A and B are shown apart, each in its own frame.
Chain A
C-alpha cells in the first residue's frame, strides 16, 4: 500500500516536471518568441476583418503591397516596388519579381487582383468592401504579370495610404480559386516571413520561419501568439518568462516590469490619439463655439499627462498628430481658467450653473476612466458640475452612434496615419462615430481635400483644415497615446508608432 502511494506520488511529480513549461532560456536557444495577446485572431483570411489583433498576427503570414517607413510613416516598397498615378482615377503598381507564396505559387498581378476581388465580393462579407477601405475601387486590372492597375470610382489620393496598411495583405490567386476561402481560413498561405503551423482556438497560433523569404529568412525561428484574456495573467506570464512580449502595459505597473529583471519596457509615441469630444450634434451648450473654446482653456492637458498618465502621452494641439502624413502644426489652447470663464460668460453661460455629462469607456484606452474623472475635477475648479458616466464598451459605441451621449465623451482613434481617415469620419455629421458636424465650410473643404492628388495641394488643404478645426474646437485636444510594451530582456525589438508588431524585425540574443 505504502509502495503504491509512493509510486503514485513519484509519477505525479514526474508528470509535473515533464510538464513544466519551456523556460525563456530554452526559447532563447531555439530562437522562439512568444507574444501574449488579449484575444485570438478572428480569421486566418487576409482582407476580411478589420481588427488590429487579427491583422497583426496575419501580417506575419501575408505581406502588404506597401510597407510604411518606421520613422517618417511614408509608404515604402514591399510586394510592390513602385507606384505612380496614371490619371485621376488610376494608380499603377510595379510588382516585385521572384516572390513565392508558401505553397510555391508565384506572386503576380493576378494575386493582387484576386485578393481585392475577394475583398469586394459581397459573398466574402469582408469589412474591407466598405468605402473606408477598398470600396472606392471600381476594378483591378492586370496589365502584365508584374504590373497592376487600380481603377477607382472617384479620384482617391489615399489609395497609396490604404495600400501601405494591413488592408493590402495579399493572398495567392490560384489557391484562392482552387481551395476556396474556407480552406484558406484553416490553412493560410502567404508570402510572408513566417508560415502557418497551427491555430488552437483560444489557446495559441504557432508560426515557423519561412526559409525562402524574399527579404531573407527571419532571425526568429518560431513565433507563437498566446491568447491570455486577463491583463494581470498576461503580466504574470511576462514576469514568469512564459511570454516574451506584451502590449499595453499600464503606466502604473511600468516600474514592476523594469524591476523584474526578466523584461524591460519598450515605449513609443503612438499614432493612436485620444480626445474629449464636445458634442455639437445634439442640442446643448456645446453648439456654441465659445463654450467649446472655453473648455479647451479650462482643461489642463499637461497636468493630466503628468499626474494621471505619468508622462506617458504626447500632447496634441489640433486634430492630427505628427505621426500623420497630413499633419501640420497647430497652436495650442493655453490653460487659462480666467479666459475660460470669460468665454463662458460671453456665451451667456454661468459657470456655476453649468451642468455637463461626460461619457467614458473604462479600460479601452490607457487610464481612460481616470482621465475622465480628472477632467471632471479640473472643470469642477471653475465651478462647473460634471457628471461622469462610465460605460461598458459596447454601450459607449451605441451611445455615440445614436447621439445619446452627454455633452462630452472620451474616445481614441487610430492608428491615425493619414488625414482623411480622421477628419472624414469624425467631423462630418452623417458619420457613425462623429461628434461634430453640420459646418458647411468644413463639409466642403473635407470633401475637396479627400480628392486632391497633387501632394502640394493636398498638404495645403489639410493644413487649412487643421487650422479651421483647431479654431472650431470640436474636441478638447488631448494627446497621442504612448504604446508601452513589456519585452523580455533577451529580445531586441523596437516598437513602432503605427502599432505594427512584426517579428521579422526582432532578434533573439542568446546569453
Chain B
C-alpha cells in the first residue's frame, strides 16, 4: 500500500512538471507580456528596458531553465501586474475557492444522489420524468446565464440576496447553486443509470426475496455497489471545483482562484498563471489519488488486485 502511494505521488510530480512545461510554452506563444502591464504612452526604449530587466529577452531555453530552477524552490517569481510574489497572490485566493467549491460539492451530492436513486427506483414515474427534465435543463443551462438571471431575480427585483462578493452566508447562496447546478445534473444522471444497472443484478433479487426491507436493499446492496462510477465522477468534479470556477467566480465577484487565473491569462501575467497551474494540478492529481484509494474502501475486489 505504501509503495503504491509513493509511486502515485511520483506520478503526481511528473504530471505537475509536464503540465507546467506545456503551460510555460503556451503562455510564451500568446504574445508580449510587457505591453499589457505598461502604460500606453510608454516609449519603446522603456518597454525594452523592462523586458530586459525581467529576462524576457533571453532565449526561451534560458528562461525555461530559470523558471524550473525557481519553481523547484517554490519560487514562481513576481507578478508582472501587481509586482508581488505570484505564489502569494495565488495562495490568498485558495480559501475562497475551497469554501465555494466544497459548498457546491456538498450541495451537488445532497441533491443529486437522492434524486438519482429515486429516479431509478421509481423508474418511469412522474418523479423520474421530472428528474430527467431537471437534469437535462441543469446540464444545458449555461452558468453565466443562470447566474445573471438569478442576480436579476433575487438581487435586483426581490432584493433578497447580494449580487456578489464574499462575506456572509447569503453571499454564498447564489454562486454555490449556480456552480452546483451543472455538476448535480451530471451526478444525478449517472447515479440513476448506475443504480438501474445494479437493480437488475441477481443479488438485489436475492436480497428482496429473503425479505429485506426496501431501505436496506437500496441503501446497502444497491447504492454501495453503484458507488464507484459516482465517486469517480464526483472526484473529477471536485478537482474542477477546487481549480476555481472561472465563470461563477467572475459573475459573482467571488475572490477565488479561477477569477485570478483567467485575469492573469488575459493580462499575460505569466508568473501568476504558472503558480496557479502548479497549485491546481497538484490539487487535481491528489484528489485523483484520494478517489483511487476510496475505490479500495468501497469495493474490496479492487483492494485485492
User: What residues make up the interface of A, taking CB atoms closer than 8 Å to B?
Assistant: 12, 15-16, 18-21, 39, 42-43, 48-51, 122, 125, 127, 129-132, 135, 185, 200-204, 226-230, 232-233, 236-237, 239-242, 392-395, 397-398, 401, 413, 421, 425, 430-433
Contact = CB atoms under 8 A, between A and B. Distances in A.
Interface string B151-163: 1100110011111
B214 interface: no
A381 B250 CA distance: 41
B253 A228 contact: yes
A127 B267 CA distance: 17
Nearest to A23: B159
A197 to B, nearest CB: 15
Contacts of B38: 50, 127
B51 to A, nearest CB: 12
A239 B148 CA distance: 13
A183 B5 CA distance: 43
A131 B155 contact: no
Given A394-B31, A394-B268, A398-B32, 16 more contacts: A19-B167, A50-B39, A127-B38, A127-B42, A130-B46, A131-B46, A201-B92, A201-B255, A228-B165, A237-B155, A240-B162, A394-B30, A397-B40, A401-B47, A425-B41, A432-B35
8 contacts: A51-B39, A132-B42, A201-B89, A202-B255, A233-B148, A393-B266, A394-B268, A431-B43
Given A48-B83, A226-B165, A200 B39 contact: no
A245 to B, nearest CB: 15
B258 to A, nearest CB: 11
A229 B259 contact: yes
B83 A42 contact: yes
B72 interface: no
Contacts of A135: 46
A200 B166 CA distance: 10
Contact of B81 (A16, A42, A237, A430): A42
Interface in B154-189: 155-156, 159-171, 173
B163 A233 contact: yes
A432 B32 CA distance: 13
Interface in B81-131: 81-84, 89, 92-93, 96
A204 B148 contact: no
Contact of B251 (A12, A43, A233): A233
Contacts of B250: 229-230
A430 B44 contact: yes
Contact of A227 (B82, B253, B268): B253
A201 B89 CA distance: 9
Contact of B255 (A21, A203, A394): A203
A240 B35 contact: no
Contacts of A237: 155, 163-164
Contacts of A431: 43-44
Contacts of A392: 266
Given A16-B170, A228-B253, A232-B148, A202 B259 contact: yes
Contact of A21 (B30, B53, B89, B162): B162
Nearest to B262: A229
Contact of A240 (B31, B81, B156, B169): B156
Contacts of B37: 49
A132 B42 CA distance: 6
B156 A236 contact: yes
B263 A413 contact: no
Nearest to A41: B82
B156 A202 contact: no
A237 B166 CA distance: 14
Nearest to B40: A433
A135 B81 CA distance: 21
Contacts of B256: 202
A42 B169 contact: no
Contacts of A241: 159
A119 to B, nearest CB: 13
Contact of A19 (B152, B168, B263): B168
B268 A240 contact: no
Interface in B8-53: 30-32, 35-47, 53
Contact of B35 (A16, A18, A401): A401
A253 to B, nearest CB: 13
A394 B169 contact: no
B156 A401 contact: no
Contacts of A201: 89, 92-93, 255
Contacts of B36: 393-394, 397
B223 interface: no
Nearest to B42: A130
Contacts of B164: 228, 233, 237
A236 B43 contact: no
Interface in B197-211: none
A432 B42 contact: yes
B252 interface: yes
